[in-house]
Amino acid sequence: MCGFAAFYDPTGATPEPAWLAAAARSIRHRGPDDEGFLCEPGAGLAFRRLAIVDVSAGHQPLSNEDGTVWIAYNGEIYNHAAVRRELEAHGHRYRTHSDTETIVHAYEQWGEDCVRRFDGMFAFAIWDRPRRRMFVARDRVGIKPLYWTRARSGWAFGSEIKALLAFPGVERRPRIEGVVEHLTLRYTAAPHTLFEGIEKLPPGHSLLLEDGRAPVPKRWWRPAYEPRITMDEDTALAEVETRLTDSVRSHLMSEVPLGALLSGGVDSSLVVAIMSKLLDQPAQTFSVGFDAPGPYSELPFARAVAEHCHTDHHEIVVGAGDLLRELPQLVWHQDEPVSEPAAIPTFLVTQLARQTVTVVLTGEGGDELFAGYPKHAVEPWARRLAHLPAFVRDPLLDHGVDRLPFRFRKLQVVGRSARFRDEAERLSAWFAGFAGTERDALLGPALRPHGGAGAEPFRRALADSAARETLDRMLDADLRLWLPDDLLMKMDKMSMAASVEARVPLLDNPLIDWAMRVEPRHKVRGLEGKVLLKRLARKLLPREVVDRPKVGFTVPLAPWFRAELRELLADTLLSPTCLGRGWYEPAALRRIVEDHLAGRRDRSRELWTLLTLELWHRAWIDRVPERATAWTPPARVEAGAAS
């Protein structure tokens, strides 16, 4: 796991070594073990290495035998040994045991189609010296990030946006449509970012740069939901266990210590249960909880799983003070805000993991493949409500659902989504910060002309989807938007901030291909989601971990915003700086803040979205970004010790 930057100039000019050095320096956290550079007419590569596989010989940039093809690469190819055997049969000769060299030889053998041979997570740049071209690509579902932009006469690429800012001509300007998109979705969807002119290469896409032609992303992988795989429940259960076991086994490939992040939810608990069976020593697990009252901490469930699986378990407990201390670092490491509050505890728990391991397995992907969110089960009801006559629907929602007490907040989310007959607007509203008329009332003169941008990513994804059934269309949108641009981006940025590699066994290629074609009845049944994974979990885990309401990784922002974070919230959002941008209607913004502080409504999700957006603008646009202060770890709590 590493970080890289690349530069391509179609005129053949040699990039300045100082550009590449600055780019590498900005992402040192992604690879503290080593660095390397290639700088020659037309191209440059910069690399930072976190040594995990072939520790002694995996230096990058790496070339083929005669030095004509060079690569800088971030990721892991789990099937590289099998691909290597095929390449050696074609006559290719290896100098190392690294998966990096397999990518180089695969490119020599199959060209752009080499990406179709890889099972893993990756983003890379290949410099083909004889053809004077650069080939860049990103894995199927976007586990690893890849950004790119125009930089004077050439093009720059990198694992993080901050690396691109090291190249000349790359500006720091907000993309106004992206601000509205962020207010709606709480992230910015590929191919765009919040920076004008800086793009994300979408998952499953590649770019070929040659002959001075403007690069156009090419899609090399598309989710397929047909033909259906028909099987009974017992056969499906056996199949998912076999496939997930194979995936976890492949993800244990490492020459350095590894462990797992254990939230106490079904997905991460399943990964830990299978991992524990495959290892010949106790797995190391790491969990995080919160020092707030109410149903926020899942530590008791994580402890139950750790005890059941006999892991070497470690915990931290995070409070509002930890969030205040680490918020500047969060803003710096994320480049653009992903308004997912779980980023802070993820950052802290991976810092804890770094003390004893370099690799962690995580549970991302289960909800998006197997329909684990409540919205997947209740969307048919929201759709029916949306199609009621307005004179019936609006009073029911405005004077009924909206005024329910806080404990009915999930029903309020259903009510908000049910306002939209338009599929893109309705699906985008499920996890939204602001949607519909509430968003329109908030937007000030600078943003109001772009009010329709919020749901546009869903409109594009749905128009381009191969899925036909309603559930499949929801899952397809989640797989292509929410998963890569929010969850995986959060995990990559926060784990790499700690110099830890995070791996996601539930997003293994064979498992993805199979899960997408499984019949909907194995995913949703009545109001229960993730039916098949829960059946497997009941087989491998304590039932009390499985048969409980889904909590999710819920950070207690609601009480914190009314207490320890109250001053930060009010002083930031109601400041002349924020109000003076022209982004918001001041009265609407004040009302949102005051509604929450007075306890009239839980607006913590919306407030976190606004807060992180404003802090991003101050750190990245208003001034030249600077690395935040060093991390100070919270107290480490061992399993079985008092917390």
Q: Would you list the DSSP string of 465-496?
A: ----SHHHHHHHHIIIIIIIIIIIHHHHHHHH
Helices (H) and strands (E) in the chain, counts: 27, 18
Q: Return contacts of 567-573, CB within 8 angstroms, 24+ apart.
A: 568/324, 568/611, 569/593, 569/597, 569/607, 569/611, 570/597, 572/611, 572/614, 572/615, 573/607, 573/610, 573/611, 573/614
CA of residue 570 relative to chain centroid, distance: 29
User: With the C-alpha atoms ordered 469, 470, 471, 473, is the resulting torsion angle positive or negative?
Assistant: positive
Give the sheet arrangement for strand 218-219, strand by strand: 62-63, 69-77, 120-128, 133-138, 205-209, 218-219
Backbone angles phi, psi at 532, to 5 degrees: -70, -45
Q: Is 504 in contact with 143 (CB distance < 8 Å)? A: yes
Q: Is 139 in contact with 75 (CB distance < 8 Å)? A: yes
Angle between helical axes of 586-597 and 604-616 (0-180°, round to 10): 130
Residue 548's nearest CA partner among 239, 248, 269 is 269
309 is catalytic: no
Q: Is 533 in contact with 372 (CB distance < 8 Å)? A: yes
Give the Cα separation of 557 and 421 in Å (integer): 31
What is the dihedral angle through the alpha carbons of 110, 114, 116, 119, rounded to the nearest 10 degrees? 130
Taking CA 127 as the corner, what is the angle to CA 124 and CA 132, rounded to the nearest 5 degrees?
145
Q: Which listed residue (2, 114, 309, 578) is catalytic?
A: 2
Please give the structure tokens belonging to residue 518.
């499984």
Give the Cα separation of 447 and 180 in Å (integer): 7
Residues in CB range of 25: below 8 A, 6 or more apart: 166
**Residues found in the chain:** 643
Residue 453's nearest CA partner among 199, 182, 174 is 182
Alpha-carbon distance values, 279 to 40, 178, 380, 461 (Å): 45, 45, 43, 40
Q: Which residues participate in catalysis according to the annotation?
A: 2
